[in-house]
Amino acid sequence: MIKETFTIEQLSEGFFELFEDGTIQKMDPKRLKNPMEDPNLGKYSSALGIDPLLISTGEQNIIIDPGLGWGLDHTSKFEDTSNVITNLKIFGLRPEDIDHVILSHLHFDHVAGSTFVNDRFETRPTFPNAVYYVHSDEWDYALTQIDQQPELIGADYRLDELYKLVAEKRLHFVEDDEYIVTPGVEMIKTGGHTPGHSIVRIEDSQAVSYFMGDLIPTEFHLNRPSHPQTVLDSAQVQQTKKLILRKAYQEKATMYFYHSLYKKTGQLSLDEKRRYILKDG
Ligand SMILES: [Zn+2]
């Protein structure tokens, strides 16, 4: 049993528009008020949130999926944008304070904030004292995708900067399908979205929470399947989703979504038609 109560925060980078070729633009959240009247949204692009997770156990600080990393590079043109470092500051934390960085999978919109380029044009880890974790199946698959047309719309692998983490032995390849990063924080391999995709189960003295990664990217996907062009193995996603949601419901767990536009977190519950809904936790 874990004795501590953890604090869990979403480090929101805002709203973005993702195009089919994988480019991303910041999006005016006002467009979300009338998405039906916006001819581009949903047709040529999709709207998404980017919400890395910060867990503080009292002794350790953990980040899950460090976001887009806009504004981290020395030469970045995105100066006024929030990113994982500016958002950590809000909670009084510096990059040096992060002990573990968990990568649900290696699509760039989840991991680009792992590193930055400094004023000497060197790639450096954003969190200099952290161990980074990814499932080995994800790394192996990502390596097969170099110079390939991405298999999924708008979701590609950009590994150049990650090689530096590997060379410095900062990226730990997880072999087990269930792996405890630190007591109370466990990676669970789900596959489906990508071969090595993992979610994270968090359990402290009070409650259970889940970070769903792209297995369930938004609250909208709780009861609906993901678009087939956004997952590699739909059957695997459906099967795993069902099992995990059933377990999470029994555990009265709080769910955290990385790409939600409206409701980003809440306690899992069922409505009168036995569909999953989120209650305020
Ligand atoms: Zn993805």
Q: How far is the CA of 107 from the centre of ligand 1 (A)?
A: 5
Instruction: Give the model confidence (pLDDT) of 123-141 as tens digits.
Output: 999 999 999 999 999 999 9
Residues 6+ apart with CB under 8 A from 44: 19, 20
96 CA distance to ligand 1 centroid (A)?
Answer: 27
Q: What residue ranges do the domains of the chain occupy?
A: 7-279
Structural tokens at position 105: 């999978």
Is pLDDT of 153 > 80? no
**Helices and strands in the chain: count of H runs, count of E runs:** 5, 18
Q: Note the Cα 118 to chain centre separation in Å.
A: 24
Half-sphere exposure of 266 (CA within 13 A, CB side): 16
Distance 105 CA to ligand 1 centre (A): 7
Cα-to-centroid distance, 67 and ligand 1 (Å): 12
Q: Does domain 7-279 have CATH number 3.90.79.10?
A: no
Calculate how far, in angstroms, residue 272's C-alpha sits from the geometric centre of ligand 1: 32
| 222 φ, ψ (degrees, to nearest 5) | -60, -45
Per-residue pLDDT tens digits for 193-237? 999 999 999 999 999 999 999 999 999 999 988 877 788 899 999
End-to-end alpha-carbon separation of the chain, Å?
22
Ligand 1 centroid from CA 92, angstroms: 29
214 CA distance to ligand 1 centroid (A)? 5
Which is nearest to 261 in space by CA: 73, 116, 49, 56?
A: 49
Distance from CA of residue 91 to its chain's centroid? 19
Distance 156 CA to ligand 1 centre (A): 8
Record the pTM.
Answer: 0.95
